[in-house]
Structure 1
Amino acid sequence: MAMPPPYPTYPSGPADGALHHPHWWQRRGVRYGALITLLAVSGLVILALVREQTGTEGFLVGLGLAVFPVPLLIAAFRWLDRVDPGPWRNLVFAFAWGACAAALIAIVANSFATKWIATTTADPSGADTLGATVIAPIVEESAKAAAVLLVFLFRRRHFTGIVDGVVIAGITATGFAFTENILYLGTAFGTDQLTGGRGIASVTAATFFVRVIMSPFAHPLFTTMTGLGFGIAALSAERQRLRRALLPVGGLLLAMCLHALWNGSASFGPFGFFAVYGAFMMPAFGLLTWLVIWTRQRELRTIREELPAYVAAGWLAPAEPFALGSMRARRMAREYAAHHLGKPAAKEVGRYEAYATTLAFLRHRGRRGRAGADFGVRESELLNELWRLREVARPALEYAARVAAPPVPVMLPWPAHPWPAHAPAPQPYATRPAHPAAAYPAPAYPAYNPYRS
């Protein structure tokens, strides 16, 4: 077996080397158990509250209609996170927090605040408007931001930039909107049952059109402002404490303002909703979409720029930085491995791609002075995993680099004298691959296949 090459030298942070034994409340099992219990209890309570307000039939109708945008939104956020995907447990936690804990906090706090305003002000009729435009944005965005904060604090390894913040915030808001839509659609169905509304003129149809068709991205858009603040803070150096503290707060305030503007659009006149929708919501949604896609492309460029250092050290093959920095080449590598060695090999290639991506981002943060004290330990862990999976992943990635590398036109020099009439016409352009992967022969897997009996 070939020995691994030496690690690239890089200064690691200070470490005292002492063993720290956590208290019982700091153990992973205790924390997981407490969190799962909290979410389960919140889910049961929110289920009972929504069912009480909508009735059993209204709850079932609202549940069936509210589920429509959820798969699309989750798929969109998961697509944004494909370059360096976070673990599913973070996304499950974010969705559960939004659907259960944040929704419960919002229902209880909004109801209490609205009743308090109605009993203490001289204008009880304005309590609902004040609650919707002031109280609801503050309470709801703070409750959803708590999930982003928890992931930022306790899953810091998987929260490294803007895309991570947007994805966690968006999934949390998707869960919150799911529960809220059940409540609104179920209540609308109950109203139709009392008034006899039918067809497109029914309250249920109008509510479904506004909340599910026109604005399924409303809550995710608000909360991603908070995610942007946390994401930019994650890119900041640890010594920039003031910036790391103020950026999430600024994102949260922006989310509250957008939420308040959206909720208050109904009081701006008969066309206030459409004015806010066209003048603010759609441009903000388009700008956010451009930003996260641009960030995604920058992440791929970072991979192509950082991994050649490990090629020079002998850890990676020359073709791998290009293949790992192209989503098309990564997909082709997994398909190639699946075709020759089966699905287990494709999963190993996928893990190899994930480890290499994390390694590139780790080195990028290290070069900018943003790596933690465990840089050297984390780097060695990732390199050892890459070395362990190289026999399956490397041929697939070299093949993908060969196929995905685009040809580049190269101008050939023209002769100084006129071209002879009897000679064939000259060809002004020739093509050559843009990547050194072209110098590699087509890779072949070893005859022994460990995945087949």
Structure 2
Amino acid sequence: MRLPFPPPRGAARFRTPAIGGALALCGLVVGVVIGRETGVPGLLVGLGLALLPLPVLFAAYRWLEAVHPRHWRELAFAFGWGACAATLLALTANGLLVRLLTDSPARLSPAHPDTLEITVIAPMVEETAKAAVIGWVWLRQTHLGHGVLVGLATAGASAAGFAFTENVLYLGSAFAQDQELGQQGIWDSAMAVTFFVRMVVAPFAHPMFTALTGLGFGLAAMLAPGRRRLRLALPALGLGLAMGMHSLWNASTSLSLLGFGAVYFLLMAPTLILLCRVAVSARRRELRVVRRTLTHYAAAGWLAPQEPQALGCARARRRARRLGRRAHGPEGARAVADYQAAATELALLRDRAGRGLTGDATDVGFADRERELLHRLWTHRPLAAPLTLTPDP
């Protein structure tokens, strides 16, 4: 069975291989640079260990995006940007700025890094490089920039990619150091210490920093277009907070155990908890908006009377996607996901119009976007609607 997906545009078919090739080239360059620092055995060991936290991180980002799911390529692009392009930009800019400001050569993982490098240069360069993809998403897909969930997921995926490559470097360098010194023990090895700090104590450090930038973009997208200054200020504020948190975290690693613990438990952990609460609250709010707003479209005959409640329930949405995959394979799951995404965007679009954050319901731009979303909804309705209304067994 062939499902009625909208045909891809020629430009999109061209851009995907071009962007993927560019990121792959950046990744190759970064891999060569790191391999020269760690050696091939260190590179392989670092690569294997750096993969460990990725399933947990990706599960968290997919949970964030479950309300209005995007294609997996978009999340993969954000991860690839962080792992390849942002890392290459950071390596280049960090080295140039260190040489310019200190007249000393910069190494990828220096044993005694300069305070200026780790507390000022690295946070500013790395957070800017990771955040570039968030701005790109907002410029390219403004209709998705209606809340904090897209910002948090995009920021988190980019930062997870950056942290992945950085973990390869630091774990590989620690392994190479142990091999060079003939270190056989576990407790006093550089590898054990590096693994504990980066993979156990702070696996969410980079995602948490960049999530502050994503939160700034998400909050800005929820404001009316007329509030231009605040819409520009919030992303800048988020980026500044990300740089500040990153700088403080880097500085804390050179403090005593008591000082490090104070930064970790009094600032880093509460910030992570706060971001998690913001994400949960935003997700619940969007589901409430879906349930409330879609009743207008159900009354007009676009949806069945029971569908707004089902489309506003996370468990019912998961069940519908699962049933779609079971009955029709991956294309069925994609059809149901696109149906849910169109319904969610439609609800949020009308909610924003009702609150005066976009043109009102008589605005031409609103009408064009609404018509496009209704077409997507109607295209997938014959397959997705029955699955959406399937009760729990």
Q: Do the two structures share a fold, i.e. TM-score over 0.5? A: yes
Structural mapping, 1:257-296, within 5 Å = 257-296=244-283
Tell me the amino acid that sits aligned with residue 41 of structure 1: L
Structure 2 residue 317 is the aligned partner of structure 1 residue 330: yes
Q: Contact between 2:171 and 2:194, CA under 8 Å: does it hold in 1?
A: yes
Provide the identity percentage: 48
Structural mapping, 1:188-227, within 5 Å = 188-197=174-183, 198-227=185-214
Structure 2 residues not aligned, in runs of 5+: 1-10, 105-110
Report SS of the residue matched to 1:371.
coil
Across the aligned residues of Structure 1 and Structure 2, the Cα RMSD in angstroms comes to 2.4
- Give the Å deviation of 1:34: 5.7
Report SS of the residue matched to 2:34.
helix
Structural mapping, 1:247-396, within 5 Å = 247-335=234-322, 341-343=327-329, 345=332, 347-371=334-358, 374-396=365-387
Q: Contact between 1:236 and 1:370, CA under 8 Å: does it hold in 2?
A: yes
Corresponding position of 1:10: none
Deviations, residues 321-369 of structure 1 (Å, cap 9, x unaligned)? 1111111222334455667x55465554333222211211121122123
Structure 2 residue 147 is the aligned partner of structure 1 residue 156: no
Deviations, residues 110-156 of structure 1 (Å, cap 9, x unaligned)? 22333344338xxxx99611110111111111111111111111122
Aligned-partner Cα distance in 2 for 1:286–1:166: 14
Corresponding position of 1:245: 232
Structural mapping, 1:74-89, within 5 Å = 74-89=58-73
Deviations, residues 361-400 of structure 1 (Å, cap 9, x unaligned)? 1211221233365321221122233233333333333333
Corresponding position of 2:3: none
Compared with structure 1, are the counterparts of its residues 128 and 335 closer, same or farther at alpha carbon in structure 2 (3 Å cutoff)? closer
TM-score by length of 1: 0.77
Corresponding position of 1:67: 51
Q: Which moved more, 1:127-136 or 1:256-265?
A: 127-136
Q: Which moved more, 1:63-72 or 1:325-334?
A: 325-334
Corresponding position of 1:142: 128
Corresponding position of 1:398: 389
Structure 2 residue 158 is the aligned partner of structure 1 residue 167: no
Report SS of the residue matched to 1:160.
coil
Report SS of the residue matched to 1:370.
coil
Tell me the amino acid that sits aligned with residue 92 of structure 1: A
Q: Contact between 1:117 and 1:127, CA under 8 Å: does it hold in 2?
A: no
Deviations, residues 58-116 of structure 1 (Å, cap 9, x unaligned)? 11111111111112111111111101112222212111111111111211222233334
Compared with structure 1, are the counterparts of its residues 342 and 38 closer, same or farther at alpha carbon in structure 2 (3 Å cutoff)? closer
**Higher normalized contact order (CA 8 Å, seq sep 6+, divided by chain length):** 2
What count of residue pairs does the alignment treat as equivalent?
A: 372
Tell me the amino acid that sits aligned with residue 287 of structure 2: L
Structure 2 residue 80 is the aligned partner of structure 1 residue 99: no
- Give the Å deviation of 1:226: 0.4
Q: Contact between 1:319 and 1:397, CA under 8 Å: does it hold in 2?
A: no
Tell me the amino acid that sits aligned with residue 388 of structure 2: L
Tell me the amino acid that sits aligned with residue 375 of structure 1: F
- Give the Å deviation of 1:191: 0.7
Tell me the amino acid that sits aligned with residue 82 of structure 2: G
Q: Contact between 2:69 and 2:337, CA under 8 Å: does it hold in 1?
A: no
Tell me the amino acid that sits aligned with residue 243 of structure 2: M
Compared with structure 1, are the counterparts of its residues 117 and 349 closer, same or farther at alpha carbon in structure 2 (3 Å cutoff)? closer
Tell me the amino acid that sits aligned with residue 395 of structure 1: P
Tell me the amino acid that sits aligned with residue 290 of structure 1: R
- Give the Å deviation of 1:195: 1.4
Aligned-partner Cα distance in 1 for 2:349–2:150: 15
Compared with structure 1, are the counterparts of its residues 334 and 189 closer, same or farther at alpha carbon in structure 2 (3 Å cutoff)? closer
Aligned-partner Cα distance in 2 for 1:320–1:352: 12
Aligned-partner Cα distance in 1 for 2:50–2:325: 37
Q: Contact between 1:46 and 1:100, CA under 8 Å: does it hold in 2?
A: yes
Report SS of the residue matched to 1:135.
helix
Report SS of the residue matched to 1:51.
helix
Aligned-partner Cα distance in 2 for 1:162–1:383: 24
- Give the Å deviation of 1:316: 1.2
Aligned-partner Cα distance in 1 for 2:194–2:113: 22
Structure 1 segments, 4+ long, off by >4 Å, are 27-34, 334-339, 344-347
Compared with structure 1, are the counterparts of its residues 257 and 94 closer, same or farther at alpha carbon in structure 2 (3 Å cutoff)? same
- Give the Å deviation of 1:182: 0.6
Aligned-partner Cα distance in 2 for 1:56–1:116: 31
Compared with structure 1, are the counterparts of its residues 386 and 210 closer, same or farther at alpha carbon in structure 2 (3 Å cutoff)? same
Structure 1 residues not aligned, in runs of 5+: 1-26, 405-453
Structure 2 residue 119 is the aligned partner of structure 1 residue 128: no
Of 73, 98, 102, which aligns to 1:114?
A: 98
Tell me the amino acid that sits aligned with residue 353 of structure 2: G
Report SS of the residue matched to 1:377.
helix
Deviations, residues 274-326 of structure 1 (Å, cap 9, x unaligned)? 22111111111011101101110111101011001111111111111111111
Aligned-partner Cα distance in 2 for 1:220–1:95: 11
- Give the Å deviation of 1:239: 1.6
Report SS of the residue matched to 2:67.
coil
Compared with structure 1, are the counterparts of its residues 175 and 237 closer, same or farther at alpha carbon in structure 2 (3 Å cutoff)? same
Of 230, 245, 249, which aligns to 2:217?
A: 230
Report SS of the residue matched to 1:301.
helix
